[in-house]
Amino acid sequence: MPALYRVLSFLTVIALVLGAATAAQAQDPAGEPPAPNAIDRVLYFNSAVQDHDACDLRLDEDGAFDFGDSVTNPAMTCPDAFAWRLFLEAIEQEFWLYWAADQLTWPAQPLPLCTDDTAAGTACCTPGSLENPGYDNADDPAVNCPYYPGDHLDAGGDAILHTAQPLSKSHVNAFSAPAGEDPGRVIRQEMAELVFRNKPMFDYVFANNIYHTDGLGELFARNSQAMTSSAPYRARSEPGALVTVDFPVDAVMVKSNWLSAERAAEMGLVDDPDNPYITMEIDAKILDNNAPDDQFEPGLYYLVAMHISSKDIPNWVWATFEHVNNPGRCDYTGCNDSFGYTSPDAAPDGFYANFTAPHVTDDGLIIASPIFARGESYPGGEMSDALQDLYTEMGIGSEPQADPAMPDLESSAWRSYRLKGSQVDFTDAMGRPTMLGNSVTEGGFVLSSSCMACHARASVNGEGEPPLGVFIAQLSEVGYPQSSHQVPDPDWYYSSSDEPALQAVQTDFVWGFLFANPITTTVSTGE
């Protein structure tokens, strides 16, 4: 027995030494850089520089974006710089005022599309018209027909008070688990969400009759018929009679996440004057699983996070931004920006300053291991001269927001947001899946989040309804469902048989079709 005690004592001493070394490695940023730990070695693959050294984004003398003389495909060659371009362009176009939210693109009680064969006097929707049925419904102008706010504002109409979804149906699940130390998950479950789509994207949905489940079911039927009767040749889509969904190359969508000022205060989040929030008055529809009915909480909201996606490449460009003060902003996967801000990390000389590593501590066990230190704040880093020039030349972020109830492009609060990362492919050149997730939007499944892989599952079946969801049969250690993050599986869409049968038609990476409803023939008066 004494010999056994000596062995155990020796092992305890060794473990304490290893634990002290791990803690020192995680907590001592001064002096020589510590040797990489297990987390560092995995995160090395997350820190790849996205933008080529040739990328040199600026505005030319005509005010157009110029990525450098040798750059011919900036979305792929300079994805981080391209992400900032999308961010600034969306602000310049006042997406919150002029673009169409989900509820305005997919009506709750949609009428059929007007065609040359529509009988006189039939209630129907005409693309481009300012006088469609339901447009005079002050509470819900898009109750019957898709409604683009920019068309009506340009014609002298008033701005609408947005009604936000609790969060995208694509990200909703009924699974409940304790939030623990993950503040992003807590914010996610409290936030309201508005998804905006620009004019080319809105027009495509409206004109092609895919703003309701009936039209989507017809799309499925045409796609299935083309595959079974015309293989190997592909049928051409016609206006109003699509075979596949393929949005215009200038389509852009913004998913924005908002937290009420009241709830933010309860969480200890304050409107920091040095890094203010973009604020907006929202009539927010908040889903409360403990109440029998949905609750409405109108009030002032803070913009805490946003995704931006554009069709500049076939599989879309994906970028996600967060407010600099979001607790846990760079947790788990780190933050990666090779254009807008330099990392506050003390990277060695001669190394890129694009990557902000997640905070790390040790687990405090006798044989200690490095683990994530979650929920802490991250310094914002220093804005690059190139991004500073863009803000200045575009007139964005120059002064305090004039009206707390409505954002404006001059608001200095736009400077409070940081790029978390960008994504332009399912895998890197070595076949490793690329990951991208927002600490708020994907709170609870950041480590399994891939914007592109998730949205590849967006699809409809023969009833015009989604057969696939974001979440797969995989759980986190605390029980949260995890999202798809691999390359798509062909078996999701077609049965593997001698004569393949269509199971799901992809909707070109757009989950918004989840909001589609069956056609009605009744005009809503809003009374």
Q: Out of 11-25, 268-282, 329-343, 512-526, which region has the weakest mean confidence (pLDDT)?
A: 11-25
Residues 230-249 pLDDT 10s? 999 999 999 999 999 999 99
Q: 96 phi and psi, to 5 degrees?
A: -70, -20
Check the CA dihedral 104-110-111-113 and report its sign. Answer: positive
Calculate the alpha carbon distances from 99 to 232, 300, 395, 431 in Å: 39, 20, 20, 37
Query: If you average pLDDT over every residue of the chain, what do you get?
Result: 87
Look at 51-55, 259-263, 407-411 and tell me which has the smallest mean pLDDT: 259-263
Pick left, alpha or beta for residue 381 (phi over 0 → left; psi -120 to 50 → alpha; otherwise beta).
left
What is the structure's pLDDT at 164? 57
> Can you name the residues that pair with 406 across neighbouring β-strands?
403
pLDDT for residue 443: 80
pLDDT for 13 equals 40
Contact between 271 and 415 (Cβ < 8 Å): no
114 burial via Cβ count (<10 Å: 0-12, 13-18, 19+): middle
pTM equals 0.89
Question: Average pLDDT for residues 144-149, to the nearest whole number?
Answer: 97
- pLDDT class for 212, splitting at 50, 70, 90? very high
pLDDT of residue 381: 97
What does the pLDDT look like over 288-309, one tens digit per residue?
333 334 566 789 999 999 999 9
CA-CA distance, 242 to 240, in Å (whole number)? 6
* pLDDT classification of 33: cutoffs 50, 70, 90: low
pLDDT digits (tens, 9 = 90+) for 360-394: 999 999 999 999 999 899 999 999 999 999 999 99
CA gap 83, 403 in Å, rounded? 27
Range 451-474 average pLDDT: 93
pLDDT of 163 reads 62
- Distance separating alpha carbons of residues 147 and 513, to the nearest angstrom: 16
Least confident of 93-102, 436-445, 475-484: 475-484
Q: Does the pLDDT value for residue 57 go beyond 60?
A: yes
On the question of pLDDT at 19 being above 50, the answer is no
The predicted structure's pLDDT at residue 354: 98
pLDDT surpassing 70 at residue 165: no
Torsion, CA 64, CA 67, CA 71, CA 77, rounded to 10 = -120
Mean pLDDT in residue range 267-274: 91
What's the rounded Cα separation, in Å, for the pair 202 and 196?
9
CA dihedral over 418, 423, 424, 428, signed as positive or negative:
positive
**Stretch among 14-23, 35-44, 260-269, 499-508 having the lowest mean pLDDT:** 14-23
527 Cβ partners below 8 Å, 6+ apart? none
Least Cα distance to 210 among 386, 459, 403, 390 occurs for 459
Distance CA 461, CA 468 (A): 9
